[in-house]
Every structure is written in structure tokens, then in C-alpha cells.
């Protein structure tokens, strides 16, 4: 009952940590810039209990939030589980009560109707709250200093969508948070709820619409004037779920759509643009010039999620799952076609930007690169399972230049976050922070690189005495934007 099955997602570097950590002053090689004052938050799946059904997908692990506190050249680390309803019920029971990912039909009857979220996908700070997010459930509020969980939040009852994206966008000019929930009326429902939340954390705009088919809508784009919904056929089906198959699957027969809505528009203003089948998930940035609207995402020829299998039974094709950052363009006032321009030869996913330039024309993008032509020492590091990132790439959209950091043959990287050198530094002038998985030592390091000089390698390596298994997303928050620090935090 308390042992994890000996599967790749539960063993080696993926062994669940299940440990909450406080380290006041981590060892550092090199120099952490003394004026960096803030917290790098990140979150990832870390299952508390062995899987109820004998196996599970990586995306269904309980959210473990890490907070790296930077102050005066020193760095501390705090890790806490997001105490979701699921986490608390299972801790109480001493075993897993919730079964498969986004599938309630194989849960213990005692948890029927409970929120199934794991809060494992992103941690976003807005209006004084740290929000731990999973796209199948409402935001879970945590204290930004103590990481104490306050509970799920429905915006004083105004959030009626059952779901809330893990990729809301913060408007650097207005302080608004732009968000949506898909399958907002339950698993595999086609409904999308779109929300604008003001800088004080109040929902000030809402509209509902239906997507062309029920599917996974992991990320979206926001420009100064429009909001963009890429619809890619990672379809969902209640029939699949009831049959005990994965609720989501890849349907290569379906077209791809881009929904474009004015930011304060309602369903009647929504336009659908259309193209043939392709795969996309994360968004680097989006912007508009009048009615011409652009969104930059990695695009692959086919499905990148082997655990959401092809609905026809076709095998997963890793070669066709390689993604390249591509600019989509549409004209809100024009016809329904979509133009595409590939922006790089680098294959990768997990795009980031200098978030001060979100929603507008921008120059600097960063991407996690999977480059199998680089050396990998399988003898020392073990075989690769799942997501693998061995380089960080900087794309200068103005010059087309690429600057690349390679992490070496016994390591891989997790998604970085950009930290501006100062509040008013020019775009791209700052740092990237990223976790490095040291497979040979079963340990993690947090690296700080100069975002303009990635190929020179880290300015500082913050040494962890433990490993943090692959997480999903995280964000830097400057101390001046946080609430006052409580005395003992």
C-alpha cells in the first residue's frame, strides 16, 4: 500500500521527494547579484501516495511548491505541498482516493464531487495571493511568504467556471490578470469561460463561449487588444473516461482553430480562424498591430504527449513531436486563414520572455531546447525518460541570432524564469534562473545565467543537497511587489 510501483516515473531522479524543506542559506558557487531581492517560485508534481490504480501519468502528481528567496547575495529554499482538497483527503485516509488524471469514474466513492485538482502546474502571484494552479480546478491560494495553503478561491463566488487555466497572463501595464477556464461545466464539456480580473483581484469582465470541439486548452495568448485561444485536437471524451481509457487523446483528423476575441469582448465578438492539423501547447508571447494579431508558440507536426495516445491507436512518433517556435498571424478584420512563420531552427518547448514585455511587440525570447546531437553520458546519468532539456536558447527576434547554453552530459534543465536586472532595465537585460537536474549525483542546482550571455554559462550555481524532480512552471516576484514579510517567515 505504501510502496510506489517500480516504474520510470517513480524511480531514479523521478522518485517522489514527499518532503517539505526549509534551508536558510544554500551553498553557492560564484556570485549571486546582491541586489536581487525577491522569490523564484516554481511547482511540480510530487505524488504523496502511490497511485490508486497501480500507475498514473506524471501530470497527476500532487503539487509541491518551491520558493527560492534571494536577498543580499544569499538564497534560501522553502518547499511545501499545495494542500489541495485531494491532498488533505488522501493524507487523512493514508492512501490515494483519487484515480486517473481528469477521470472521476475510478475514484473512491467517498470523494465523489470533491475538487480533484493537484495545483501542480504553475504558481502565479496576483493581488497579494500566491495562486497554485491546475487547469481542471479553481486557483488554490497560498501565502507568498510561508507557503501556507488558505484553500480554493472562487473570487467571492463570481468564478462559476469549474476550471481555471494554469497559464493566466499578467498585464504589466494595468496589473490585470487575464484568465479562462475550459471544460468549464465539467470534464469534456465544450464550454470556455473568459475572465478579466483587475489589479485588486476582482473579476470585472466575463464571457462564455463554446470551442469547436472539447479538447485540452493548456495555454492562450493575450495582446493589448485581443485574447487568443489555440484549439488543438488533444480531444477529451467522457466515453473514454468511463471506459477507463485516458480522458484525452490525439486526433490527427481534426483541424486546428485560433479563437480571437477583443479583450473586453463578448461571445458575439469571437472569431474562429482555421488551419490544418498540427500540435501546439505553450505560448511565448502574443501582440497586435491594429487588427493584425500575432501569437508565437512552439509547433510540432504531431502530438507531444505520449500519455494522451492517438485515438486511432497509431504509435507515438518522437520525430514528429519536435517543436519549433513559430509565429501565427491572423487579421481580425480579414478572412479566416492563418499564416505561419518559423522563427528558429532550435527544437524545443517551454518558451519564456521578459514578462515586462508581455502582450506587445517584443524582441527577446527564451526556449528550452532538446538537442540530442549534444553528448549525453548514459552510463553515468542513466537513460532518459520523458521530458529532456539539455540547452537553454535565447532567440533575438530582431537580429535572428541565437545564443545557447548547454548543461553538459550528465544533467538536464527545467523551465527558466526571467529576472530583470532592475525594474527599468531594457528588455532582456537581466538573468535566467533554472533548475539543473544532476543525474550523476541525484541532486539539483539552481543556475543563474546572464540572459544576454547564456553561452558563457552560469554566473552562480546554487547547490541543493537534494533533488527537485521535474517541475512545470514558475515565476520571479520582486520583494517590493510582495506583501510585508511576517516576522518569522
What's the CA gap between 111 and 1, in Å, rounded? 19
Q: Sign of torsion, CA 440 445 450 452?
A: positive
To ligand V55, the closest distance from the beta carbon of 18 in angstroms equals 18
To ligand V55, the closest distance from the beta carbon of 229 in angstroms equals 15
* 281 in contact with ligand V55 (CB under 6 A): yes
What's the CA gap between 173 and 38, in Å, rounded? 20
Q: Exposure of 70 by Cβ count < 10 A (0-12 exposed, 13-18 middle, 19+ buried)?
A: buried
- Which residue, among 266, 335, 258, has the nearest Cα to 296 in the 3D structure? 258
* 14 in contact with ligand V55 (CB under 6 A): no
To ligand V55, the closest distance from the beta carbon of 91 in angstroms equals 21
- Which residue, among 378, 246, 355, 255, has the nearest Cα to 306 in the 3D structure? 246
* 191 in contact with ligand V55 (CB under 6 A): no
Binding residues for ligand V55, rule CB under 6 A, total 7
Q: Extract the C-alpha cell encoding 81.
A: 505541498
* 59 in contact with ligand V55 (CB under 6 A): yes
Q: Out of 80, 169, 218, 327, point to the residue binding ligand V55 (CB under 6 A).
A: 218
* 220 in contact with ligand V55 (CB under 6 A): no
Task: Output 218 or 327, the one with its CB closest to ligand V55.
Answer: 218
CB atoms within 10 A of CB 219: 22
Task: Output 194 or 308, the one with its CB closest to ligand V55.
Answer: 308
Task: Output 59 or 229, the one with its CB closest to ligand V55.
Answer: 59
- Which residue, among 338, 341, 337, has the nearest Cα to 327 in the 3D structure? 341
Binding mask 98-127 for ligand V55 (x = CB under 6 A): ----------------------xx------
Task: Output 63 or 259, the one with its CB closest to ligand V55.
Answer: 63
Task: Output 61 or 393, the one with its CB closest to ligand V55.
Answer: 61
Q: Out of 472, 474, 476, 477, point to the residue binding ligand V55 (CB under 6 A).
A: 472
The footprint of ligand V55 on residues 339-368 (CB under 6 A) is none
To ligand V55, the closest distance from the beta carbon of 122 in angstroms equals 9
To ligand V55, the closest distance from the beta carbon of 117 in angstroms equals 9
CA 283 to chain centre: 10
DSSP sequence for 48-97: SS--TTS---GGGSPEEEEEEEEETTEEEEEEEE---HHHHHHHHHTS--
Binding mask 122-161 for ligand V55 (x = CB under 6 A): -------------x--------------------------
- Which residue, among 395, 392, 394, has the nearest Cα to 405 in the 3D structure? 392
To ligand V55, the closest distance from the beta carbon of 282 in angstroms equals 7
Would you say 436 and 416 are in contact if contact means Cβ atoms under 8 Å apart?
no
Which residues of the chain form contacts with ligand V55 (CB under 6 A)?
59, 120-121, 135, 218, 281, 472
Amino acid at each position: 500500500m505504501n510502496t510506489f510501483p517500480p516504474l520510470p516515473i517513480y524511480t531514479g531522479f523521478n522518485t517522489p521527494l514527499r518532503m517539505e524543506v526549509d534551508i536558510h542559506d544554500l551553498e553557492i558557487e560564484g556570485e549571486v547579484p546582491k541586489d536581487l531581492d525577491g522569490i523564484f517560485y516554481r511547482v511540480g508534481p510530487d505524488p504523496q501516495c502511490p497511485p490508486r490504480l497501480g500507475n498514473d501519468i506524471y501530470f497527476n502528481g500532487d503539487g509541491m511548491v518551491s520558493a527560492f528567496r534571494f536577498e543580499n547575495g544569499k538564497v534560501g529554499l522553502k518547499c511545501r505541498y499545495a494542500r489541495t482538497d485531494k491532498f488533505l483527503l488522501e493524507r487523512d485516509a493514508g492512501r490515494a482516493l483519487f484515480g486517473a488524471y481528469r477521470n472521476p469514474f475510478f475514484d473512491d466513492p467517498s470523494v465523489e464531487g470533491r475538487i480533484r485538482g493537484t495545483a501542480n502546474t504553475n504558481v502565479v502571484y496576483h493581488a497579494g495571493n500566491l495562486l497554485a494552479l491546475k487547469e481542471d480546478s479553481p486557483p488554490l491560494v497560498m501565502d507568498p511568504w510561508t507557503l501556507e495553503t488558505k484553500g480554493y478561491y472562487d473570487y467571492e463566488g463570481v468564478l462559476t467556471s469549474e476550471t481555471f487555466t494554469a497559464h493566466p497572463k499578467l498585464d504589466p501595464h494595468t496589473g490585470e490578470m487575464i484568465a479562462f477556464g475550459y471544460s468549464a461545466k465539467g470534464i469534456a464539456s465544450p464550454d470556455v469561460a473568459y475572465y478579466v480580473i483587475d489589479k485588486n483581484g476582482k473579476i470585472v469582465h466575463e464571457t462564455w463561449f463554446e470551442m469547436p470541439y472539447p479538447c485540452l486548452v493548456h495555454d492562450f495568448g493575450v495582446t493589448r487588444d485581443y485574447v487568443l485561444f489555440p484549439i488543438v485536437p488533444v480531444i477529451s471524451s467522457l466515453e473514454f473516461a468511463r471506459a477507463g481509457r485516458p480522458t484525452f487523446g490525439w486526433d490527427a483528423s481534426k483541424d486546428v482553430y485560433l479563437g480571437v476575441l477583443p479583450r473586453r469582448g463578448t461571445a458575439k465578438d469571437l472569431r474562429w480562424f482555421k488551419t490544418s492539423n498540427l500540435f501546439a501547447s505553450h505560448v511565448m508571447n502574443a501582440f497586435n498591430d491594429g487588427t493584425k494579431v500575432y501569437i508565437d508558440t512552439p509547433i510540432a507536426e504531431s502530438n507531444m504527449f505520449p500519455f494522451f495516445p492517438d485515438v486511432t491507436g497509431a504509435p507515438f512518433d518522437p520525430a514528429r513531436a519536435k517543436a519549433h517556435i513559430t509565429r501565427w498571424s491572423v487579421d481580425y478584420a480579414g478572412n479566416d486563414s492563418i499564416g505561419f512563420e518559423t522563427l528558429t531552427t532550435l527544437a524545443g518547448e517551454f518558451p519564456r520572455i521578459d514578462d515586462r514585455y508581455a502582450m506587445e511587440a517584443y524582441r527577446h525570447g527564451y526556449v528550452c531546447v532538446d538537442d540530442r546531437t549534444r553528448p549525453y553520458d548514459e552510463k553515468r546519468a542513466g537513460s532518459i525518460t520523458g521530458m529532456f532539456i539539455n540547452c537553454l536558447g535565447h532567440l533575438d527576434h530582431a537580429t535572428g541570432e541565437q545564443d545557447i547554453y548547454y548543461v553538459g552530459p550528465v544533467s538536464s534543465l527545467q523551465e527558466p524564469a526571467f529576472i530583470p536586472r532592475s525594474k527599468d532595465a531594457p528588455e532582456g537585460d537581466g538573468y535566467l534562473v533554472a533548475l539543473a537536474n544532476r543525474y550523476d549525483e541525484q541532486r539539483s542546482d539552481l543556475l543563474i545565467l546572464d540572459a544576454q550571455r547564456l553561452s558563457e554559462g552560469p554566473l552562480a550555481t546554487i547547490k541543493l543537497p537534494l533533488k527537485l524532480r521535474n517541475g512545470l512552471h514558475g515565476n520571479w516576484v520582486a520583494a517590493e511587489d510582495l506583501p510585508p514579510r511576517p516576522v518569522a517567515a
